Chain A
Amino acid sequence: MTRDMDWSILSWKQGLELDACVRCGECTNWCPVYEIEQREEVTPRGRSRSLRRLRGGEGGLLSRLVSGPPLSDDEFARLKEDLYQCTTCGQCHFVCPTGIDTMDLWESVRAVFAAAGEGPLPPHEALYRNIAEYDNPWQQPRSSRDRWAVRAAKGKNAEIAKVATAAPGTSEVLLFVGCTASFDMNLKQVAINTTKVLQKAGIDFSILGQAERCCGSTMRRVGMLDRFEERAKENIEQFNGLGIKTLVTSCSGCFKTIGRDYPKVGELDFEVLHVSQYLLRLLEEGALTLDTEVPLVVTYHDPCHFGRHAGVFEAPRKVLGQIPGLEFREMERIKENSRCCGAGGGVKAAYPGLQGSISHARIKEAEATGAEALVSTCPFCYQGLQVGMTGAGSALRMMDLTELVSAAIGGTSVDVAAAAQADGEGAVEVPTEVEAPSAAPSAAPSEAPVEG
């Protein structure tokens, strides 16, 4: 069978990378998917071999001589699935003795498959349709994107002051809330807590409100490169037009996408910081003081797209270190070797069972520290890890860093938050229950996006 694979989508270096695997198998010791699946084909080593055979099999005799026998149709079909059974966590890059840049490689190979009509998988296509139609993968109307801010600022018991909507020259700091924290009821508190803290620090900032659009991470991760680049260009134009100096993201996936992927598409006229980096800056500059005791034992999960993909490991730890009364304990696998939550790379959307198993392993590791709460800096990991907590029947509490910081400025009672979680108050507004979608995706929104 002839397959119309356009290998020009790769770089020459990525072509070389497929030939640079020494077959040592170190990746098999670390790959979170292999840990569950126990199949050679899902390992970076196995995928590299299959891809070499696929690529070489399309050429002449010499090409086949150096690449091995061509893939059969059955093997090709399996490779397509195996390619998307990868969380793109990047662990393999860090343990590979050759240092193969697998983080970009797998996404680029997915782009080759997508361009040939061989990818992504149907659940990912559904997510793309949602983003195209609603500007978010959750199938939520644009009009509800800033509902969290409106509601939280309303009434006598308002949690926050009204937040300005960004316009050219409005403010120097833009808070890019992201789709998950904007729409998921469990995670709207991330946006609210961030707002509380920034307002306490006296920061003049704004949000895009209903004009905020998905960063496009989903498209990039599953290989929809053209569509991602269209989205990135639109967003870059919007951001640059605001005249901001700093864009702060709530989500690690948005941070990686805007901060690391966008500059390959167009020039950014501003710096991109994750909220934990921005909070650390405020703390170090003295603009923010944490003076309320938070008597809690916590451990921290490094989101793959914040840590391995973007190289930020210390900022969240330093912020945690400044919270009075907090006891911080590290898990066994941290930083470059942090275990993935399993949600990224489209796995949560296409293989929810696999995601749950990977997440379960991370929860067990967190529990082993004796911590009461598992803290992360990514709403998408938050969702993914909660799946593991439920599966494990864990007594751990999932928390975002901003919740702890908010508590440390006296803005939130951690106990109240815990109670809310325990009685299910936090889960009342699941996105599917808010607005009926025009085209139902194959994955429920809580299982949908692809960041991580």
Chain B
Amino acid sequence: MGYTHSILFYTLATVALIVMAVGVAARVMIWRQGKAPSWHSALDRGALARAVVSRVLFQSTIRRQSLVRWAMHMAIFWGFVLLFVESLLLMVLDWFVPAGSSVAVFFEGSDGHALLNVWGDVWGLVLLAGIVVALIRRYVVRTAQLETLADDAVALWFLLGVSLTGFAAEGVRLAGGAQPAAEWAFAGAAFTWVADLPGVESPMTLFYVHGLASLAFLAYIPYSKMVHMLTAPIEMSLAAATARERSEAI
């Protein structure tokens, strides 16, 4: 697979997930202080389902407000989600898929590598594009409605770091020798120069840098504004499911 199974990495992953879970639990405990009814009539499940598709997955509210903001947020949202899916897939292949099974054979072959390379590069670029637009809005255009506190800055630069170290790790891996379907890693190929930098001779060095940055980002989510990754979809869905109670058009 290009990457070797690492007990150390998964130990760190476990620690990161525990830190994240503790942060989420702290938030939930605060929410649970509230005892008043959250809604007074039955939830509209149809509206909830429609909201998940329209407001959460396609972010229709932002689209109506600004196409630039919508494209930016869609890029960050879908780039992050689909790269996360790829990471989960790699973990499943590493831990759960028996060697020699048809699935393992597929992903060890050049077709499987090509799929993973294209997937990672395309969604990595999409994520990066979204982050760059966000940085331009915040620091170049200085959009009036944006207020930049430390939390806003850290979240954005953190995400940029995770994204760039991902490409750098791939570039170093490609520079390390013949890789199956390397020609499909078109974006990573632009980062092979990273391997010439001092201290990154081993492909594992940047793999760990990127892996740890990604894990740290996950752990950071509930302690920052990025908690909206969890809370916003819930609120969007419930807002739609209770809209009739507020007499709003759904």
- Identify the A interface with B (CB < 8 A): 7-17, 19-26, 28-29, 40, 45, 55-56, 59, 62-63, 65-68, 95-101, 103-104, 108, 260, 263-264, 309-312
User: Does B22 make an interface contact (CB < 8 A)?
Assistant: yes
- Chain A residue nearest to B26 (CB atoms) is A62
User: Does B23 make an interface contact (CB < 8 A)?
Assistant: yes
Q: How far is the CA of A68 from the CA of B222 in the complex (A)?
A: 12
B143 to chain A, nearest CB (A): 8
Additional pairs, 16, CB under 8 Å, beyond known A7-B34, A21-B228, A66-B30: A12-B31, A14-B34, A16-B235, A20-B231, A23-B151, A24-B62, A25-B143, A25-B145, A62-B23, A66-B222, A97-B62, A101-B246, A104-B246, A260-B246, A309-B247, A311-B249
Which chain A residues border B23 with CB–CB below 8 Å?
A: 62, 65-66
Q: How far is the CA of A57 from the CA of B59 in the complex (A)?
A: 33
Whether A100 contacts B246 in the complex (CB less than 8 A), given A15-B30, A24-B145, comes out as no
Whether A15 contacts B34 in the complex (CB less than 8 A), given A23-B225, A40-B147, A62-B26, comes out as yes
Q: How far is the CA of A45 from the CA of B149 in the complex (A)?
A: 12
Q: How far is the CA of A26 from the CA of B73 in the complex (A)?
A: 14
The answer to whether A311 and B248 have CB atoms under 8 Å apart is: yes
Which chain B residues border A260 with CB–CB below 8 Å?
A: 246-247
The answer to whether B40 and A264 have CB atoms under 8 Å apart is: yes
The answer to whether A101 and B65 have CB atoms under 8 Å apart is: no
Q: A67 contacts which of B30, B146, B234, B248 (Cβ < 8 Å)?
A: B30
Which chain A residues border B55 with CB–CB below 8 Å?
A: 99
Q: How far is the CA of A17 from the CA of B227 in the complex (A)?
A: 11
Whether A10 contacts B33 in the complex (CB less than 8 A), given A66-B23, A101-B242, comes out as yes
Which chain B residues border A97 with CB–CB below 8 Å?
A: 59, 61-62, 65, 232
Which chain A residues border B183 with CB–CB below 8 Å?
A: none
Whether A65 contacts B145 in the complex (CB less than 8 A), given A10-B36, A59-B30, A311-B246, comes out as no
Using a CB-CB cutoff of 8 Å, which residues 10-46 of chain B contact chain A?
22-23, 26-27, 29-40
B150 to chain A, nearest CB (A): 10
Which chain A residues border B247 with CB–CB below 8 Å?
A: 260, 309-312
Which chain B residues border A13 with CB–CB below 8 Å?
A: 31, 34, 38-39, 235, 238
Q: How far is the CA of A99 from the CA of B236 in the complex (A)?
A: 6
User: Does B82 make an interface contact (CB < 8 A)?
Assistant: no
Q: How far is the CA of A26 from the CA of B27 in the complex (A)?
A: 24
Q: How far is the CA of A12 from the CA of B139 in the complex (A)?
A: 36
Q: How far is the CA of A311 from the CA of B247 in the complex (A)?
A: 5
Q: How far is the CA of A245 from the CA of B31 in the complex (A)?
A: 40
Which chain A residues border B225 with CB–CB below 8 Å?
A: 22-23
Which chain A residues border B146 with CB–CB below 8 Å?
A: 24-25
Whether A16 contacts B231 in the complex (CB less than 8 A), given A55-B30, A66-B26, comes out as yes
User: Does B1 make an interface contact (CB < 8 A)?
Assistant: no
Which chain B residues border A311 with CB–CB below 8 Å?
A: 246-249
Residue contacts A-B, CB under 8 angstroms, 27 given: A7-B30, A8-B34, A8-B35, A10-B33, A11-B35, A12-B38, A13-B31, A13-B235, A14-B34, A14-B38, A16-B31, A19-B31, A22-B228, A24-B62, A24-B145, A26-B65, A28-B144, A55-B33, A67-B30, A96-B61, A98-B232, A99-B240, A100-B235, A101-B246, A260-B246, A260-B247, A264-B40
Which chain B residues border A26 with CB–CB below 8 Å?
A: 65, 145
Question: Mask for B70-91, Cβ within 8 A of A = 1, else 0?
Answer: 0000000000000000000000
User: Does B152 make an interface contact (CB < 8 A)?
Assistant: yes
Whether A100 contacts B239 in the complex (CB less than 8 A), given A15-B32, A62-B26, A311-B247, comes out as yes
Which chain A residues border B249 with CB–CB below 8 Å?
A: 311
Q: How far is the CA of A64 from the CA of B232 in the complex (A)?
A: 21
Which chain A residues border B62 with CB–CB below 8 Å?
A: 24, 97
Whether A95 contacts B65 in the complex (CB less than 8 A), given A22-B232, A311-B246, A311-B249, comes out as yes
Which chain A residues border B231 with CB–CB below 8 Å?
A: 16-17, 19-20, 98
- Chain B residue nearest to A27 (CB atoms) is B145
Whether A263 contacts B40 in the complex (CB less than 8 A), given A20-B228, A45-B147, A101-B242, comes out as yes
The answer to whether B33 and A8 have CB atoms under 8 Å apart is: yes
Which chain A residues border B32 with CB–CB below 8 Å?
A: 12, 15
The answer to whether B227 and A11 have CB atoms under 8 Å apart is: no
Question: Mask for B178-194, Cβ within 8 A of A = 1, else 0?
Answer: 00000000000000000
Q: How far is the CA of A260 from the CA of B244 in the complex (A)?
A: 11
A152 to chain B, nearest CB (A): 33
A55 to chain B, nearest CB (A): 6
The answer to whether A101 and B239 have CB atoms under 8 Å apart is: yes
Q: How far is the CA of A7 from the CA of B29 in the complex (A)?
A: 12
Which chain B residues border A96 with CB–CB below 8 Å?
A: 61
Question: Mask for B216-244, Cβ within 8 A of A = 1, else 0?
Answer: 00000011010110011011101110100
B151 to chain A, nearest CB (A): 8
The answer to whether B235 and A98 have CB atoms under 8 Å apart is: yes
Q: How far is the CA of A99 from the CA of B239 in the complex (A)?
A: 6
Whether A20 contacts B34 in the complex (CB less than 8 A), given A28-B145, A62-B26, A95-B65, comes out as no
Whether A24 contacts B147 in the complex (CB less than 8 A), given A15-B34, A66-B23, A98-B235, comes out as no
The answer to whether B235 and A17 have CB atoms under 8 Å apart is: yes
| Residue in A7, A8, A24, A68 whose Cβ sees the most chain B Cβ within 10 Å | A24
Q: How far is the CA of A101 from the CA of B241 in the complex (A)?
A: 12
Which chain A residues border B235 with CB–CB below 8 Å?
A: 13, 16-17, 20, 98-100
Q: How far is the CA of A20 from the CA of B38 in the complex (A)?
A: 15
Q: A23 contacts which of B38, B69, B152 (Cβ < 8 Å)?
A: B152
Q: How far is the CA of A43 from the CA of B175 in the complex (A)?
A: 51
Q: How far is the CA of A67 from the CA of B151 in the complex (A)?
A: 11
- Chain A residue nearest to B224 (CB atoms) is A66
Which chain B residues border A24 with CB–CB below 8 Å?
A: 62, 69, 145-146
Q: A12 contacts which of B34, B40, B61 (Cβ < 8 Å)?
A: B34
The answer to whether A98 and B30 have CB atoms under 8 Å apart is: no
- Chain B residue nearest to A9 (CB atoms) is B36
Q: How far is the CA of A133 from the CA of B87 in the complex (A)?
A: 67
Q: How far is the CA of A99 from the CA of B144 in the complex (A)?
A: 21
Closest 3 CB pairs of A and B: A311-B247, A25-B145, A15-B31
